[in-house]
Amino acid sequence: MTKEHATKLIVKFWRNTLEFEEVCSNGATDKVNVLTNTLASLSHLRQICSITNEQLDNFEKNLTECIELKIAAGVSSVYNDVDYNPDKMLRDSATRAGIDVNMSTFPFKTNTQLDKTSEDDWIPSVKNGYQKEWLDLTDEMFTPEGKFIDPSRKEI
Protein backbone atom coordinates (compact mmCIF):
# COMPACT_ATOMS: atom_id res chain seq x y z
CA MET A 1 0.00 0.00 0.00
CA THR A 2 1.33 3.49 -0.74
CA LYS A 3 2.42 5.67 2.18
CA GLU A 4 -0.32 8.17 1.25
CA HIS A 5 -3.05 5.53 1.40
CA ALA A 6 -1.64 3.98 4.58
CA THR A 7 -1.41 7.41 6.23
CA LYS A 8 -4.99 8.15 5.21
CA LEU A 9 -6.22 4.96 6.94
CA ILE A 10 -4.31 5.73 10.16
CA VAL A 11 -5.71 9.27 10.24
CA LYS A 12 -9.19 8.02 9.40
CA PHE A 13 -8.99 5.61 12.35
CA TRP A 14 -8.02 8.38 14.80
CA ARG A 15 -10.67 10.74 13.42
CA ASN A 16 -13.17 7.92 13.97
CA THR A 17 -12.29 7.84 17.68
CA LEU A 18 -13.25 11.53 17.93
CA GLU A 19 -16.36 11.26 15.78
CA PHE A 20 -18.08 8.07 16.95
CA GLU A 21 -18.76 6.51 20.33
CA GLU A 22 -15.94 4.29 21.55
CA VAL A 23 -15.92 2.01 24.58
CA CYS A 24 -13.02 2.78 26.90
CA SER A 25 -11.50 -0.31 28.49
CA ASN A 26 -8.26 -0.97 30.30
CA GLY A 27 -9.01 -4.70 30.31
CA ALA A 28 -9.55 -5.03 34.06
CA THR A 29 -12.78 -6.68 35.17
CA ASP A 30 -12.96 -5.82 38.87
CA LYS A 31 -15.85 -3.60 40.00
CA VAL A 32 -13.77 -0.44 40.43
CA ASN A 33 -12.27 -0.70 36.94
CA VAL A 34 -15.60 -1.58 35.33
CA LEU A 35 -17.05 1.58 36.89
CA THR A 36 -13.99 3.59 35.80
CA ASN A 37 -14.32 2.29 32.23
CA THR A 38 -18.05 3.07 32.19
CA LEU A 39 -17.48 6.62 33.43
CA ALA A 40 -14.66 7.15 30.92
CA SER A 41 -16.87 5.88 28.09
CA LEU A 42 -19.70 8.22 29.13
CA SER A 43 -17.28 11.13 29.40
CA HIS A 44 -15.89 10.29 25.95
CA LEU A 45 -19.41 10.24 24.49
CA ARG A 46 -20.23 13.57 26.13
CA GLN A 47 -17.03 15.14 24.82
CA ILE A 48 -17.33 13.97 21.20
CA CYS A 49 -20.81 15.49 21.00
CA SER A 50 -19.20 18.93 21.26
CA ILE A 51 -16.58 18.39 18.51
CA THR A 52 -17.50 20.09 15.24
CA ASN A 53 -16.90 18.82 11.70
CA GLU A 54 -14.49 21.73 11.17
CA GLN A 55 -12.47 20.63 14.20
CA LEU A 56 -12.45 17.04 12.92
CA ASP A 57 -11.28 18.19 9.48
CA ASN A 58 -8.52 20.30 11.07
CA PHE A 59 -7.47 17.41 13.32
CA GLU A 60 -7.26 15.16 10.26
CA LYS A 61 -5.15 17.75 8.40
CA ASN A 62 -2.85 18.32 11.40
CA LEU A 63 -2.27 14.61 12.05
CA THR A 64 -1.65 13.92 8.35
CA GLU A 65 0.97 16.69 8.29
CA CYS A 66 2.69 15.32 11.41
CA ILE A 67 2.88 11.80 9.97
CA GLU A 68 4.10 13.08 6.59
CA LEU A 69 6.84 15.12 8.32
CA LYS A 70 8.07 12.03 10.17
CA ILE A 71 8.09 9.98 6.96
CA ALA A 72 9.91 12.78 5.11
CA ALA A 73 12.52 12.74 7.90
CA GLY A 74 13.27 9.13 6.96
CA VAL A 75 11.58 7.10 9.68
CA SER A 76 10.41 3.62 8.75
CA SER A 77 7.73 3.43 11.43
CA VAL A 78 5.26 5.92 12.91
CA TYR A 79 3.64 4.89 16.19
CA ASN A 80 0.72 6.61 17.94
CA ASP A 81 -0.75 5.53 21.21
CA VAL A 82 -3.16 6.35 23.96
CA ASP A 83 -2.32 4.69 27.23
CA TYR A 84 -4.62 6.78 29.38
CA ASN A 85 -3.63 10.03 27.68
CA PRO A 86 -2.79 10.54 24.01
CA ASP A 87 0.80 10.79 22.83
CA LYS A 88 2.24 14.18 21.84
CA MET A 89 1.39 13.89 18.13
CA LEU A 90 -2.28 13.09 18.79
CA ARG A 91 -2.58 15.65 21.59
CA ASP A 92 -0.95 18.44 19.55
CA SER A 93 -3.00 17.64 16.43
CA ALA A 94 -6.23 17.80 18.44
CA THR A 95 -5.26 20.91 20.41
CA ARG A 96 -4.29 22.79 17.24
CA ALA A 97 -7.73 21.86 15.85
CA GLY A 98 -9.39 23.45 18.88
CA ILE A 99 -10.35 20.15 20.51
CA ASP A 100 -10.11 20.05 24.30
CA VAL A 101 -7.84 17.14 25.22
CA ASN A 102 -8.21 15.20 28.45
CA MET A 103 -8.17 11.57 29.58
CA SER A 104 -11.45 10.79 27.83
CA THR A 105 -10.80 12.50 24.49
CA PHE A 106 -9.41 9.33 22.90
CA PRO A 107 -10.25 5.77 23.99
CA PHE A 108 -7.43 4.52 26.18
CA LYS A 109 -5.22 1.50 25.51
CA THR A 110 -5.41 2.16 21.75
CA ASN A 111 -2.44 2.16 19.34
CA THR A 112 -1.67 2.55 15.66
CA GLN A 113 1.49 1.85 13.73
CA LEU A 114 2.54 2.67 10.20
CA ASP A 115 5.40 0.46 9.03
CA LYS A 116 7.50 0.70 5.90
CA THR A 117 8.11 -2.77 4.48
CA SER A 118 9.75 -1.69 1.23
CA GLU A 119 10.29 1.52 -0.73
CA ASP A 120 6.71 1.63 -1.99
CA ASP A 121 4.90 -0.48 0.59
CA TRP A 122 3.56 0.63 3.96
CA ILE A 123 1.34 -1.29 6.36
CA PRO A 124 -1.07 0.58 8.66
CA SER A 125 -2.15 -1.37 11.73
CA VAL A 126 -4.23 -0.83 14.84
CA LYS A 127 -4.46 -2.35 18.29
CA ASN A 128 -7.94 -1.26 19.33
CA GLY A 129 -7.91 -1.80 23.09
CA TYR A 130 -6.13 -3.57 25.89
CA GLN A 131 -4.84 -7.06 25.06
CA LYS A 132 -6.19 -6.83 21.51
CA GLU A 133 -4.29 -8.26 18.58
CA TRP A 134 -2.73 -5.96 16.01
CA LEU A 135 -4.90 -5.72 12.87
CA ASP A 136 -3.81 -4.46 9.48
CA LEU A 137 -6.11 -1.57 8.56
CA THR A 138 -8.03 -1.82 5.29
CA ASP A 139 -10.67 0.31 3.59
CA GLU A 140 -13.22 -2.42 4.26
CA MET A 141 -12.96 -1.81 8.02
CA PHE A 142 -14.76 1.52 7.64
CA THR A 143 -18.40 2.17 6.86
CA PRO A 144 -19.22 4.68 4.10
CA GLU A 145 -19.76 7.24 6.92
CA GLY A 146 -16.22 6.57 8.19
CA LYS A 147 -17.06 4.51 11.28
CA PHE A 148 -14.41 1.92 12.10
CA ILE A 149 -15.71 -1.64 12.44
CA ASP A 150 -13.32 -3.73 14.49
CA PRO A 151 -13.56 -7.32 13.23
CA SER A 152 -12.15 -8.61 16.52
CA ARG A 153 -14.95 -7.14 18.66
CA LYS A 154 -18.01 -9.23 19.24
CA GLU A 155 -21.40 -7.55 19.04
CA ILE A 156 -23.34 -7.74 22.29
What's the whole-number average pLDDT of the chain? 89
CATH of domain 3-141: 3.90.640
Q: Can you tell me the distance from the alpha carbon of 16 to that of 22, in angstroms, rounded to the nearest whole number?
A: 9
- How many CB atoms neighbour CB 145 within 10 A? 8
Q: Where are the domains of the chain?
A: 3-141
C-alpha angle 42/54/65, rounded to 5°? Answer: 100
Helix, strand, coil % over all residues of the chain, rounded to 5: 45, 20, 40
Which of residues 23 and 149 earns the better pLDDT score? 149
Which of residues 150 and 96 earns the better pLDDT score? 96
Per-residue confidence band for 153, with pLDDT thresholds at 50, 70 and 90: low
What tens digit of pLDDT does each residue of 78-117 get? 999 998 899 999 999 999 999 999 888 888 889 999 999 9
Pick from 86, 82, 77, 74: nearest CA to 124: 77
Q: Can you tell me the distance from the alpha carbon of 14 to that of 61, in angstroms, rounded to the nearest whole number?
A: 12
Contact 37, 25 (CB under 8 A): yes
Contact 16, 146 (CB under 8 A): yes
For residues 133-149, average pLDDT: 92
Q: Can you tell me the distance from the alpha carbon of 40 to that of 129, in angstroms, rounded to the nearest whole number?
A: 14
